[in-house]
Amino acid sequence: MTTLLSRNRDYRLLWGGQVFSETGFSTSMIAFPLLVLAVTGSAAQSGLVLGAVAVAQLVAGLPAGALVDRWNRKRIMLVCEAVQALAAASLLAALWWGVASVLQLVAVAAVMGLCRALFEPAEEASLPRLVTVEQVPSAVAMNAARSNAGQLSGTALGGFLFALGRAIPFVFDVLTHVVAFFALLFVRLPVAVTERAPARHLGREILAGLRWVWHQPQVRVTALCAISLNLFFSAYYLVIIVLAATRGVPSGEIGVMAAMLGGGGILGALAAPYLHRRFSPYTLIIGVFWALTVLTPLAVFVRSGYLMGVLFAAMAFLPPAANTTISTYQLLLTPDGMRGRLGGVLGVAGGVAAAAGPALGGWLVDALPGTTAVLVCAGAITVVTLLATCHPVLRRFPRTLEPEPEFADRKGNPDG
């Protein structure tokens, strides 16, 4: 965390609380399928439970963004943490009494997905009011590092805790959300005037958010580029996992390989503030595309899970810097009363790509030999790269953006 950002008490509280919350969430996401398998022995029902999280986030994404622009954002985040703790506690009670069912697991997972759909745009929309203008890029990058670290640690911890006892991961999850709740209580978050505006028709507010995103060229084009890249890389990731397994790579090496992808993302997020200052937005954005274009075909020649992990880490290093540049621009460009809907729209778009990518990868694995499937994904990424490289909107992407008047009183104040 940069020096200025480390002196921002309120951001430290929010960031530290969410380290716990995201680790607990990832722990539960690993424990859910393990618990379903232990209770029912059905892999299909395990997928149903995890799918409930993704479906809830997607279905609630657009309405949640509009509600974030209506309601007090700190209150939304507090309620989300409290509800997640209560949901996990209800599962603990069911396990204690021996009455846990797949239906309850699906319900708990859906509640957690709904809370994530509300919390994420609320936190993102609050960021420019919590930190100074100069701190926004560092805050965006540190949030990305936190998410990667929480996912990595939670994934590793979930399996270990489940081995100690079926209920232990969910005890841990309850405790993490309680810690995050109390950290949030002490965060001083200024309330925008727009958050107190009279509520209008929810559907019209959602459409207004969609129209606003579509009519901002930089937002629209970068979103479409990110969706395309995420779609084909998610497919590529699944193809690589299957290819590694068919080549006889031990499961332990495959786990390390996947972890190194997250590790590369963490290192990239830590380097992102420096790269954001050092390079132009166009260079950073196009650099991500060309790095993936060059690196993805190399998997055809890699037989070691560890070497593939190094390749994954290299692929994951640059995206956080490009995301920092794009997210900073979007947050400073977007009026406060529209930021929740911006987060909701982009979250749903990214969620669709994340869901469709593995499905595409599975189809490619079934239809084509492994190396051919890799090259198809790499070829699709190359096409997207060429289109992005020549796109005039990306070539003119501004390096800086004058903040809106709402930021004037926050400029240069490290205490927010």
What pLDDT was estimated at residue 386? 95
The strand ranges marked E within 157-211 are none
Q: How far apart are CA 122 and CA 150, in angstroms?
A: 19
Lowest mean per-residue pLDDT among 82-91, 177-186, 256-265: 256-265
Lowest mean per-residue pLDDT among 85-94, 157-166, 395-404: 395-404
Q: How far apart are CA 317 and CA 385, in angstroms?
A: 17
391-399: long-range contacts (C-beta < 8 A, 24 or more apart)? 391/221, 391/225, 393/217, 393/218, 393/221, 394/221, 394/222, 394/225, 394/282, 394/285, 394/286, 395/282, 397/218, 397/222, 397/280, 397/281, 397/282, 397/285, 397/329, 398/218, 398/281, 398/329, 399/280, 399/281
Q: Is the pLDDT of residue 410 over 70?
A: no
Confidence of residue 192 (pLDDT cuts 50, 70, 90): low
Q: Is the pLDDT of residue 318 over 80?
A: yes
Fold of 1-186: Growth Hormone; Chain: A; (1.20.1250)
What pLDDT was estimated at residue 214? 92
What pLDDT was estimated at residue 260? 87
Q: Please give the single-letter amino acid code of residue 303.
A: R
pLDDT tens, residue by residue, 142-179:
998 998 888 888 878 888 888 888 899 999 999 999 99
How many other CB atoms are found less than 10 A from the CB of residue 226?
20
What pLDDT was estimated at residue 5? 77
What pLDDT was estimated at residue 198? 54
DSSP output for 109-146: HHHHHHHHHHHHHHHHHHHHHHS-GGGHHHHHHHHHHH
What pLDDT was estimated at residue 286? 94
What pLDDT was estimated at residue 1? 47
Q: If you average pLDDT over residues 297-313, what whole number do you get?
A: 90
Fill in the DSSP letter of residue 167. Answer: T
pLDDT tens, residue by residue, 10-56:
999 999 999 999 999 988 888 888 888 777 776 667 677 777 888 89
What pLDDT was estimated at residue 298? 94
160 CB-near residues (< 8 Å, 6+ apart): none
Mean pLDDT across the chain: 86
pLDDT tens, residue by residue, 320-354:
999 999 999 988 889 988 999 999 999 898 888 88
**Residue 337 φ then ψ, to 5°:** -70, 0
110 CB-near residues (< 8 Å, 6+ apart): 52, 53, 55, 56
- Do 327 and 340 meet the contact criterion of CB atoms below 8 Å apart? no
Q: If you average pLDDT over residues 108-122, what whole number do you get?
A: 93
Q: How far apart are CA 321 and CA 270, in angstroms?
A: 9
What pLDDT was estimated at residue 152? 84
Q: How many residues does the chain have?
A: 416
What pLDDT was estimated at residue 408? 42
Lowest mean per-residue pLDDT among 44-48, 126-130, 223-227: 44-48
Confidence of residue 414 (pLDDT cuts 50, 70, 90): very low
Question: Are the folds of 1-186 and 202-401 the same?
Answer: yes
What pLDDT was estimated at residue 51? 79
What pLDDT was estimated at residue 402? 55
- Do 58 and 352 meet the contact criterion of CB atoms below 8 Å apart? yes
CATH class of 202-401: mainly alpha
Q: If you average pLDDT over residues 298-307, what whole number do you get?
A: 89
CA 191 to chain CA centroid, nearest Å: 25
Q: If you average pLDDT over residues 79-108, what whole number do you get?
A: 91
What pLDDT was estimated at residue 253? 79
DSSP output for 318-381: SHHHHHHHHHHHHHHHS-GGGHHHHHHHHHHHHHHHHHHHHHHHHHHHHHS-HHHHHHHHHHHH
Q: Is the pLDDT of residue 196 over 50?
A: no
pLDDT tens, residue by residue, 244-262:
888 888 877 777 887 888 8
End-to-end CA distance of the chain: 16
Domain chopping of the chain, boundaries? 1-186, 202-401
What pLDDT was estimated at residue 401? 60
- Token pair belonging to 350: 């990214």
Residue 34 or residue 115, greater confidence: 115
As a whole-number percent, the residues of the chain with pLDDT over 90 amount to 44
